Amino acid sequence: MNLNPPSYTFLEADKTEEMLHLFKGERTGWVQVGEKKWFFPYRYTEQGSAFYHFKARPSDTWVLSYPRSGTTWTMELVWLLKNNLDFNTAGKKTLAERFPFLEFSMFNHPEVTRTLLEWNKGDVSKQQLCKEIARPGYEVLDAFSSPRFIKSHFPFSLLPNILDSGCKIVYVARNPKDVAVSWYIQNKAFVTQGYIGDFPTFWNYFKNDLTAWSPYWEHLKEAWAQKDHPNVLFMFYEEMQADLLSSIKKISNFLGKVYSDEELSKLLDYLDIKNFKNNPMVNSEELQECGVLLMNGVFVRKGKSGNWKSTFTEDLEKEAEEWISENLKDTDLVFPTE
């Protein structure tokens, strides 16, 4: 393990000025980290080293992904499988409490946090939530007793301790066209990103590795390279949608758990998107109440593949297909058909 985190450079001034006009949640700028130029808001300069040195424990269970890849659905599934289908606790504690997001603090610009505190003046519990989500996950999780459940969108190369720690890691991937559309909607919905532009402009940023946690392809390829690691399970969101029962059994086996057909049937019903998207414990209602999330129904959305078709123009689709083909030509990574 390299003890020194990769160096970073600030995004060029002209591009920074352009993007600050469109991403209102960031007020300072962005950095590009390491040789692959991982893209993060400026708070990475303050917190990145501590995230890089964060120590995973053997008893941890992680869910990793590029954003908007079916992460929330997978997290709830993993948590329930590991916790003997404890629907009672899952109905009382938010998923964010049970499965903390390691690096969300990087997206809480101090000026935005001050605004949120002002909006919630007079409501102590909402103000506390605004302060809590701005706390670095390495501080929060260090204080957690084991076993811990951890969500992260960091690529493997920025979590160098994780593979040798003995912990279990489920990585979920999704086709880039659906990712881009869902990521666009979420960037518009969260004040921490505050995107006010249109989709073609966002697509251009995404394709050119200028949205957070990009580059998308390097993210997936780093995970794909670890697919045969005994403590890594690589899943496609599309395969989970196509045959959830088989996916549940696959993940359950990976986690060393066994359940009866009756128990699995109950879990299938619980995870059905019609029920899941209305579950206040997983759809970030608490963030909506304190003003971080501006639009209802965007965190857990339709849960379907192919929704990109209603957003992409014919020209954008052609461009996307060429971009996908170019990036898949030197790999055996193949997305399941929609």
Q: Give, for all 338 residues of the chain, the pLDDT tens digit.
A: 558 899 999 999 999 999 999 999 999 999 999 999 999 999 999 999 999 999 999 999 999 999 999 999 999 999 999 999 999 999 999 999 999 999 999 999 999 999 999 999 989 999 999 899 999 999 999 999 999 999 999 999 999 999 999 999 999 999 999 999 999 999 999 999 999 999 999 999 999 999 999 999 999 999 999 999 999 999 999 999 999 999 999 999 999 999 999 999 999 999 998 888 888 899 887 787 778 887 655 545 455 566 777 788 999 999 999 999 999 999 999 999 75
pLDDT for position 310: 79
Structural domains of the chain sorted by starting position, each given as residue range(s) with its CATH number in brackets: 56-328 (3.40.50.300)
Q: Cβ contacts of residue 128 below 8 Å, gap of 6+?
A: none
Query: Average model confidence (pLDDT) for the chain?
Result: 93
pLDDT for position 267: 97
Which residue is associated with the tokens 């393990």?
1
What percentage of the chain reaches a pLDDT higher than 90? Answer: 84
Q: How far apart are the C-alpha atoms of 333 and 234, rounded to whole Å?
A: 11
**Do 30 and 106 form a contact (C-beta atoms < 8 A)?**
no
Exposure class string for 204-239: b at 16+ Cβ within 10 A, else e: ebbbebbbbbbbbbbbbbbbeebeeeebbbbbbbbb
pLDDT for position 300: 53
| Per-residue pLDDT tens over the stretch 128-147 | 998 999 999 999 999 999 99
Angstrom CA distances, 253 to 133, 233, 250, stand at: 33, 10, 5
Q: Helices (H) and strands (E) in the chain — how many of each? A: 17, 7
Closest CA to 195 of 116, 294, 281: 294
What would the DSSP string read from start to end of 3-39? Answer: SSPPPEEEPPHHHHHHHHTTBTT-SS-EEEETTTTEE
| Per-residue pLDDT tens over the stretch 265-279 | 999 999 998 888 888
pTM: 0.94
Angstrom CA distances, 28 to 48, 204, 213, stand at: 16, 21, 17
